[in-house]
Amino acid sequence: MLVCGTESRGHLAGHSLLAIHENGIDEQGRITGSQGAIPFIENISRVAVERFQQQVILLDRIGLNDREEIRKLVEDYKDKGEAYPEEPMVVSAPKKRHSSFAAPTSGDIIISGEFVMDSKAGIICSAESF
pLDDT tens string 3-51: 999 999 888 999 999 999 999 999 999 999 999 998 998 888 899 999 9
Whether residue 92 is contained in a domain is answered as no
In this structure, of 7-16, 49-58, 96-105, the range with the lowest mean pLDDT score is 96-105
Whether residue 101 is contained in a domain is answered as yes
Whether residue 67 is contained in a domain is answered as yes
Looking at residue 102, its pLDDT comes to 52
Whether residue 14 is contained in a domain is answered as yes
Average pLDDT, the chain: 84
Q: Are residues 11 and 73 in the same domain?
A: yes
Q: Are residues 46 and 101 in the same domain?
A: no
Using a 10 angstrom Cβ sphere, with 0-12 exposed, 13-18 middle and 19 or more buried, the burial of residue 28 is exposed
Looking at residue 114, its pLDDT comes to 72
Range of the domain at 47: 2-77
Q: Are residues 105 and 52 in the same domain?
A: no
Total domains in the fold of the chain: 2
